Amino acid sequence: MRIRVINPNTTRAMTDLIGRSARVVASPGVLVDAVQPTMGPASIESHYEEALAVPGILEQVALGEAEGVDGYVVACFGDPGLDAARELASGPVLGIAEAAMHAASLVARRFGIVTTLDRTRGRAHELVARYGFADACVEVRACEIPVLDLEHDPDVLARVVAESRAVVEQGAEAVVLGCAGMTALCRSVSDEVGVPVVDGVTAAVLLAQSLVAMGLRPSARGEYAPPPAKPMTGLLAGFEIMSATKHDAPFGVVRSPA
């Protein structure tokens, strides 16, 4: 089984970090393919960056379809392009926010989220509502460390622990880490705070693996049906849909940009 973990930003060190976490939990026989877009922002912490990350994510899904990938993880906590990726993919596509919130809800009635910058809290709240966890999520807090500083800032563990304790004081019984770049902190934060801490990268990899094993894939009926063939112009001409046959022809849904 082959699971493609897409780091939606273009920072190689972060792709490598995400790949390491994914490989630790993947079952024997599951090949984890950690990739990043060929274009797009170095990190994603604004709506603008999130929007511009999506074409590169879709390109990696289209390439994955050509290579016979069985399932995908979109490893950014804004879950960028998730619905669009499901329209292209013949296997399951999991977002890390979606996977982490579902996992947290299985071990705690109420959870809190600790994200990077304050400005990303709105997107996290939107996703909480979308996934149906508005009653379960007590608070979204920010540690105010930018994504690309997470690996190097000496204060990162202390700051994430402090915000995690704050959500626990608000009634959270588990903590969801709100960035793929926090993946390596999961065990340490849990040890310090004393509640289950969920890292979306590992949650999404294991869920994707499980869905593939169950033979579950995006429904070809209705909303996740392949997008219709249609002209696409300008910079996005390379993304023109050539045929709407995702489940019949594993490749050809999207041409990758020249």
Q: Which two tokens stand for residue 98?
A: 């979606």
Min dist CB 119 to ligand 2AL, Å, is: 9
Question: In terms of CB distance, is 32 or 44 closer to ligand 2AL?
Answer: 44
Question: In terms of CB distance, is 32 or 253 closer to ligand 2AL?
Answer: 32
Distance of alpha carbon 177 from the chain centroid = 12
Min dist CB 160 to ligand 2AL, Å, is: 12
Q: Does 9 bind ligand 2AL (CB under 6 A)?
A: yes
Q: Does 179 bind ligand 2AL (CB under 6 A)?
A: yes
Question: In terms of CB distance, is 44 or 160 closer to ligand 2AL?
Answer: 44
Q: Does 45 bind ligand 2AL (CB under 6 A)?
A: yes
Residue 237, CB half-sphere, CA atoms under 13 Å: how many?
4
Q: In angstroms, rounded to a whole number, what is the distance separating the alpha carbons of residues 59 and 53?
A: 10
Considering only residues 100 to 129 of the shown chain, the ones binding ligand 2AL according to CB under 6 A are 115-116, 120
Which among 17, 27, 83, 7 has a CA at the least distance from the CA of 213?
A: 27
Min dist CB 18 to ligand 2AL, Å, is: 9
Q: Which of 21, 43, 60, 105 binds ligand 2AL (CB under 6 A)?
A: 43
- Are 143 and 111 in contact by the 8 Å Cβ rule? The answer is no
Q: Which of 26, 44, 113, 207 binds ligand 2AL (CB under 6 A)?
A: 44
Q: In angstroms, rounded to a whole number, what is the distance separating the alpha carbons of residues 121 and 99?
A: 18
Which among 234, 239, 196 has a CA at the least distance from the CA of 85?
A: 239
Q: Cβ contacts of residue 44 below 8 Å, gap of 6+?
A: 8, 9, 50, 53, 76, 78, 80, 147
Min dist CB 254 to ligand 2AL, Å, is: 23
- For residue 130, give the 3-state DSSP assignment: helix
- Are 114 and 192 in contact by the 8 Å Cβ rule? The answer is no
Q: Which of 17, 22, 62, 76 binds ligand 2AL (CB under 6 A)?
A: 76
Q: Which two tokens stand for residue 65?
A: 């379809």
Q: Does 199 bind ligand 2AL (CB under 6 A)?
A: no
Q: What does the binding site for ligand 2AL look like in residue numbers (CB under 6 A)?
A: 9, 43-45, 76-77, 115-116, 120, 147, 178-181
